[in-house]
A and B are shown apart, each in its own frame.
Chain A
Amino acid sequence: MAVAGTQVWRRRDPLMQFAVWAAWLLGTAIFVYCWGEISDRTIWAFVTDAPTQAADLGARMVPPDWGFIKTLGRPLWDTLNMATLGTAMAIVIAVPVAYCAARNTTPSMTLVRPVALFVIVSSRSINSLIWALMLVTIVGPGVFAGILAIGLRSIGFCAKLLYEAIEEIDESQVEAVRATGASRAQVTAYGIVPQVMPAFAGISVFRWDINIRESTVLGLVGAGGIGLPLNGAITTLAWTRVSLILLVIVAAVVAGEWISAKVRHAII
């Protein structure tokens, strides 16, 4: 209905429209290829059978075996300790790493910063369960391996967020402290630390909350905590106990999230 010569509003110009179409086409092609490969490796008889399996499993999981809860106190305490001590360990290591990784505080851009960034990336790329798998073979099964696994995984997370916070500080305050003739350590203590302190506390509590969730599964590879009885219950097909442990885990995770939200609210 457009009159010749008048332009009708379009969201994108033709070239852009073409680029968007091409991107969609490429994306769809990649998706279809990946799905095909996965489909080839799937036994579809099991998948179509899943609803009956689910109903069967569900029926076996109720009612939860409430009497079993007495034995769960200790594993739950271990889980809490793995999360807390692991987070504490991570923070202690993450602070110097973040200091070395931030553009405005690093001692050397060419030498120290890449090393710090590599530490951050490798710690972040490897899931805490894989760290636990590794550490269980090295230091043996138990809570200690779990603490180290949580700690090593959290270094990258804490250091990354912390160095971004350091890079975002207000330079004029640092300048003011430096102008009084303060040494490098004094500049850090009076110019930088007060500015990143709230972010630092927030990051620690946030990671602690994530670590509660993570440490519930480390027992599956032998690193202690509530995952240990969970693994035992699953392998012995004690489904009423499994459902109880799952309820306990959900309660712990929700409690952790609530505390973390409260503390972060109080800080900010």
Chain B
Amino acid sequence: MGAASPALESRRWKKPPFIRRAWLRWTLALGVAFYLALALGTTEVNWTRVWDGLPRGVQFFAAFFPPDFKTRWGEILEGISESLWMTVVSTAVGIAISIPVGIGAAKNMVPAPVYYFCRAILAVSRSFQEVILAIFFVKLFGFGPFAGCVTLVVATVGFYGKLLAEDIEDTAPAQAEAIRATGASWLQWINYGIQPQVMPRIIGLGLYRFDINFRESAVVGIVGGGGIGATLNTAFDRYEFDSAAAILLVIIGIVMLVEYSSGAIRRWVQ
């Protein structure tokens, strides 16, 4: 101890900050603080209404113990099976459409005009939230599961086509080249050169999309697109929290089931 300690003190190791440039760090911190103050300051919260609603919230969570499956069981069953039909049909049709679109949107497969055309299709189908699409399709096709199906098909094409295209762009060119060197036609080239490379991943993505479509099918019903969403909306409107809790539990249960079985299928495929 003594005279050497200040020098030693200053050489003590300090944890390096996550953002190295000091000015950037301070600008970001100040900016975030400023934004938060502004956002929290302009957000209007009606605390008396929140306070009044709390007993209702307690009531809602109490409704989970036990949830009421019985009273509305017929409607729940009808809604859930409609959701499942919509999920199956929209996933299958959506994937069937997104395969040609996805191939067209891969840079290494097609000439530039086709590429830009397919990329445009993907960009358009991805730009709107499912619910907004559903509102318009319900307007066009009338109430019911058909409008919901079309919505989910469009959403599936945007999601699946984009990921498929990226996957095809990432394939190893050597294998595809080898197939082409045997004199294979364009279709054979796709079938034997590209498809085996992307297959495991696109099956996984298909199952994942099935899962998403089921969850989304619960939402399109709120705006009239068929499925369990309509039943759920009615339950909330009638303040039948015990039925709503039952519906939510059924949805959670099916999502868990789909997730576990898709994990099993993925392991089996790979």
Q: Which residues of A contact B (CB under 8 A)?
A: 27, 30-31, 34-35, 37-39, 41-43, 46-47, 50, 53-54, 57, 77-78, 81, 84-85, 121-122, 124-127, 129-130, 133-134, 137-140, 142-144, 147, 190, 197, 201, 213-214, 216-217, 220-221, 230, 234, 246, 249-250, 253-254
Contact = CB atoms under 8 A, between A and B. Distances in A.
Interface string B199-218: 00000000000000001101
A124 B216 CA distance: 11
Interface stretch (B3-11, B82-90, B101-109, B167-175): B82-90
B117 interface: no
B264 to A, nearest CB: 15
A78 to B, nearest CB: 8
Interface string B128-168: 11011001100111101110010000000000000000000
A246 B46 contact: no
> Which residue, of A42, A122, A216, has the highest number of chain B Cβ atoms within 10 A?
A42
A238 to B, nearest CB: 14
B259 A121 contact: yes
A47 B146 contact: yes
B89 A216 contact: no
A262 to B, nearest CB: 14
A142 B131 CA distance: 19
B219 A127 contact: yes
B26 interface: no
Given A43-B144, A47-B146, A130-B218, 17 more contacts: A34-B86, A37-B82, A38-B86, A41-B226, A42-B146, A46-B142, A57-B139, A84-B39, A125-B255, A126-B248, A129-B219, A130-B219, A138-B57, A142-B44, A144-B46, A214-B129, A217-B129
Contacts of A130: 218-219, 222, 229, 232, 248
A46 B143 CA distance: 9
> Which residue, of B56, B145, B244, B259, has the highest number of chain A Cβ atoms within 10 A?
B145
B218 A142 contact: no
A140 B141 contact: no
A38 B53 contact: no
Contacts of A53: 139-140
B256 interface: yes
* B contacts with A: majority SS: helix
B60 interface: yes
Given A85-B43, A125-B251, A217 B215 contact: no
9 contacts: A38-B149, A47-B146, A77-B42, A126-B215, A133-B236, A140-B49, A140-B53, A220-B222, A249-B128
Interface in B220-258: 222-223, 226, 229, 232-233, 236, 239, 244, 248, 251-252, 255-256
A81 B215 contact: no
Given A46-B142, A127-B218, A143 B44 contact: yes
B99 interface: no
Nearest to B228: A130
* Interface residues on chain B, size class: 35 or more
B128 A250 contact: yes
B190 interface: no
A50 B39 contact: no
Interface string B23-64: 000000000000100011011111001101110110010000
A37 to B, nearest CB: 5
Contacts of A81: 39, 42-43
Contacts of B127: 250, 253-254
A139 to B, nearest CB: 5
B15 interface: yes
A56 to B, nearest CB: 10
Given A47-B142, A50-B141, A127-B216, A133 B222 contact: yes
A221 B43 CA distance: 18
A42 B39 contact: no
A165 B259 CA distance: 19
B92 interface: yes
Contacts of B39: 81, 84-85
A124 B255 contact: yes
Contacts of A253: 127
B140 A133 contact: no
B18 A139 contact: no
A125 B232 contact: no
Contacts of A30: 88
B136 to A, nearest CB: 8
Contact of B45 (A38, A125, A144, A250): A144
A59 to B, nearest CB: 14
A120 to B, nearest CB: 11
Contacts of A214: 129
Contacts of B139: 53, 57
